[in-house]
Structures are given as C-alpha cells and as structure tokens.
Amino acid sequence: MARLSLAFETGLLKPDGPVAALHPEVGFDMVGLNDCLIVQPFFPSNRAWKNQGFECDVTLPTRRFALAIVCCTRSKQQTADLIAQAAAQADVVVVDGQKDDGIGSHYKNLRKLTDVQGTITKGHGRLFWFAGTDLPSLRGVDQNFDGFVTKSGVFSVGAVDQASALLADALPEHLSGEVADLGAGWGYLSSRILSREAVTKLDIVEADFFSLDCAKQNVLDPRAAFHWADATVWNGSYDAVVMNPPFHTSRDGDPELGRAFISAAKRCLKSKGSLYLVANRHLPYETSLEQCFAKVLELPGNSRFKLFHASRPQRK
Ligand SMILES: C[S@@+](CC[C@H](N)C(=O)[O-])C[C@H]1O[C@@H](n2cnc3c(N)ncnc32)[C@H](O)[C@@H]1O
C-alpha cells in the first residue's frame, strides 16, 4: 500500500474540502480523490491526468484548499518552492517523496521551520504533513545571468548547458528558412539559432511550462513562436531542426525519449532539410539516426558530447 493510501485509510488525513496535488507523476495513487485539482506543468503528464478526468492546471490557482499534496520533484529548490506555495494556501500540507528525491532533507528542514504533525516511512520514501503557514524562506528566486532568466526546476538552471553551447557553436552560418528547436528549455539554443539572419521563423517547442515561460523572456525576436507541447508528436515542415534532446523520463535515463525526438525530426523536415543534434557520448542514437536519415555525418565533438548532422529524411 502506498504511503498516501495508508495515511487516508488509517484516518490520519481527513480533508474536509478541496484538495490539490502538486506535480504528481502519472501513475501516482490519488487514493480515490477524483475531484482533486492536479497541478502539473509538464505537458504530456498534464494531458494524461486530464484524460483521466482530473481538473488540471500548471500553477496553483489563488484559492484556499483543505489539503495540498506536494510530490517531490528532482529539483530540491523547485520542491521547496512548491511546499511554500502549498503552505500559504492549504490548511494541511502533505509532502511525499522517495529518498532519491531528497525527501529526507525536506523533512529535516520542515521540522526546523514548523511543527510537523505526523510522518509515514515506507517503500524507500517518506510522507509527512504539517498545518499550512507562511514559509518565505522556501520561496524560489529566479536565477538570472548574462541577460537570461532561469528558474528552479528548469533544465540547466543558472548556466548555459555545455552540450547546447557546443551545438550552438557548430551550427552553420548559412542556417536558413523555417527552423524548429525541439525541447528548447529556457531558450539558449533558440537565441543562438536566431543569430542567423537567414532564419525566417523559429518554432520553440518545449513541454515544461516554466522553461517555455523563461524562453519567452529570453527570446524576444519576432521570428520566434512558442509552443507548450510534446515534441515527440509535433508536426511541421522545416528546413532545419535543432535539438539537444532530453535523456530522462522522470528519474531514469531513457534513450527511447531521444529516439522519439529523432523520429519527430524526420517527420517534420522537408526532403532537403537538416537535423543538427547533440548528445552525451554514451547515448546510442546512431542506429535511430541511420534508420531515419539517408545521410548521417558525425561532426567534431568533445570527450563528453557528440554532434550529428543528418539529412535526407527517409519517407518510408
Ligand atoms: C537536454 S534539455 C535541452 C534544453 C535546451 N535545448 C538548452 O539549450 O538548454 C531537454 C529539454 O527537453 C524538454 N522535454 C522533455 N520531454 C519533452 C517532450 N516530450 N516534448 C518537448 N520537450 C520536452 C525538457 O523539459 C528540457 O527542457
């Protein structure tokens, strides 16, 4: 039995009013709370919860809740910020997470800041709860640098990702026409793509609502269009696709996700279009690239990252 069901079934938690769950992954046991509001900024997960009939949002709407359930994310700062948001708007806040997600340090911290009323440890994780209160020290702050805005929870917060920098430096001067940046994060690669004057349009496709929000602040060029969407099912007709694809599904490394991005690029490119891709050296993308493109060229990379230029997308 999961920790949350245990807390409900043993009567430790008895919400009397509206409930919200912040950032639950798909498959999280909602213990029959069918009218719970799900706050989920990751597009594919947001849609999956919606398809299960839940009311969904990307941020916590400003109203009171009897109970808010915060699910730990991989980002410690983002989780702390979610706890602060929940604590300001809910009578009772439950925090649930695995040891790997740092639930131990959140528990320790919250015990210093407020009166933790109860806890359950089970299945390599912990759940604890406390009465809602103001916790300003947990609020997230944007991490801005070199004119870029980034916030906790986004990929490569507070710095340019080295793989993206390598790819940006390798983009041809003659990059032109209609381009897509799939999995664009907070917009670094996009800003570099738009330094090419012959680019007429750039579709910035990103699944994380807050990364896209940062990209909107970082890329002010009128040629850019912003899409909160799942790149793996994206459609278009481009002269070039540029990407530093994700290699994690939640906690686990997952090369399938990168392969789905390569397949999307094949589908979205014009017959004379080009894909420019960077990947960690250990990721096995060569076979997918060769299955999707008639011509695959490895460009000079470095000890950590490899670069590819793939052209002539296969139409079969
Ligand atoms: C390795 S990061 C690259 C970020 C960015 N290109 C940069 O320059 O820093 C991959 C990005 O893909 C996003 N992502 C993950 N799954 C996605 C999906 N299915 N559709 C669109 N974007 C996705 C992640 O949120 C993340 O921002």
> Comparing 33-47, 189-203, 238-252, 264-278, which segment has the lowest mean pLDDT?
238-252
CA–CA separation, 203 vs 126, rounded Å? 41
CATH number of this structure's domain 162-313, picked from the four choices 3.30.1200.10, 3.30.429.10, 3.40.50.150, 3.40.50.300: 3.40.50.150
Output the CA torsion 188→152→31→27 (10° steps): 30
Q: What is the pTM for the complete model shown?
A: 0.95
Q: Is residue 250 pLDDT above 60, yes or no? A: no
Provide the pLDDT for residue 10.
Answer: 87
CA–CA separation, 163 vs 165, rounded Å? 5
Computed over every residue of the chain, the mean pLDDT equals 95
- From the CB of 232, is ligand 1 less than 6 Å away? yes
Instruction: Tell me the average pLDDT across 289-305.
Output: 97
Backbone angles phi, psi at 51, to 5 degrees: -65, -20
Q: Is residue 169 pLDDT above 90, yes or no? A: yes
For residue 103, the 8-state DSSP code is H
Of 149, 151, 188, 244, the one to substitute when testing ligand 1's pocket (max ligand atoms within 8 A of C-beta) is: 244
208 CA closest ligand 1 atom index: 25
Q: Is residue 272 pLDDT above 90, yes or no? A: yes
Instruction: Tell me the average pLDDT across 75-92.
Output: 97
Instruction: Tell me the average pLDDT across 77-105.
Output: 97
For the chain, percent of residues with pLDDT exceeding 90? 89
Mention every residue, 6+ apart, whose C-beta is less than 8 A from residue 127: 3, 4, 7, 94, 95, 96, 119, 120
User: Residue 9's pLDDT band (boundaries 50, 70, 90)?
Assistant: confident
- Does the 3-138 domain belong in CATH 3.90.1170.50? no
Delimit the CATH 3.40.50.150 region(s) of the chain. Answer: 3-138, 162-313
- From the CB of 156, is ligand 1 less than 6 Å away? yes
Give the pair of three-digit tokens for residue 55.
Answer: 């009311």
pLDDT in tens, 135-150: 999 999 899 999 999 9
Provide the pLDDT for residue 1.
Answer: 63
Closest CA to 295 of 282, 283, 279, 311: 311
- From the CB of 239, is ligand 1 less than 6 Å away? no
- From the CB of 183, is ligand 1 less than 6 Å away? yes
Q: Are 200 and 186 in contact (CB under 8 A)?
A: no
pLDDT in tens, 227-239: 999 999 999 999 9
User: Residue 94's pLDDT band (boundaries 50, 70, 90)?
Assistant: very high
Q: Are 264 and 231 in contact (CB under 8 A)?
A: yes
Helix (H, G, I), strand (E, B) or coil at 269: strand
Provide the pLDDT for residue 253.
Answer: 63
Mention every residue, 6+ apart, whose C-beta is less than 8 A from residue 48: 26
234 CA closest ligand 1 atom index: 20
Provide the pLDDT for residue 88.
Answer: 98
Residue nearest to atom 12 of ligand 1 (CA): 183
pLDDT in tens, 31-58: 888 789 999 999 999 999 999 999 999 9
Q: Is residue 14 pLDDT above 90, yes or no? A: no
Paired with 181 in beta bridges are 204, 242
CA–CA separation, 90 vs 67, rounded Å? 5
Measured from the Cβ of residue 283, the count of other Cβ atoms closer than 10 Å reads 15
Instruction: Tell me the average pLDDT across 245-267.
Output: 84
Sign of CA dihedral 84, 80, 189, 277: negative
Instruction: Tell me the average pLDDT across 128-134.
Output: 97
Burial (0-12, 13-18, 19+ Cβ within 10 Å), 121? middle
CA–CA separation, 153 vs 40, rounded Å? 13
Strand pairing of 269-280 and 305-313? antiparallel
- From the CB of 231, is ligand 1 less than 6 Å away? yes
Closest CA to 25 of 110, 91, 76, 98: 98
Q: Are 61 and 88 in contact (CB under 8 A)?
A: no
Q: Is residue 11 pLDDT above 60, yes or no? A: yes
Of 155, 194, 249, the one to substitute when testing ligand 1's pocket (max ligand atoms within 8 A of C-beta) is: 155
Q: State the distance from the centre of ligand 1 to the C-alpha of 277, rounded, in angstroms.
A: 13
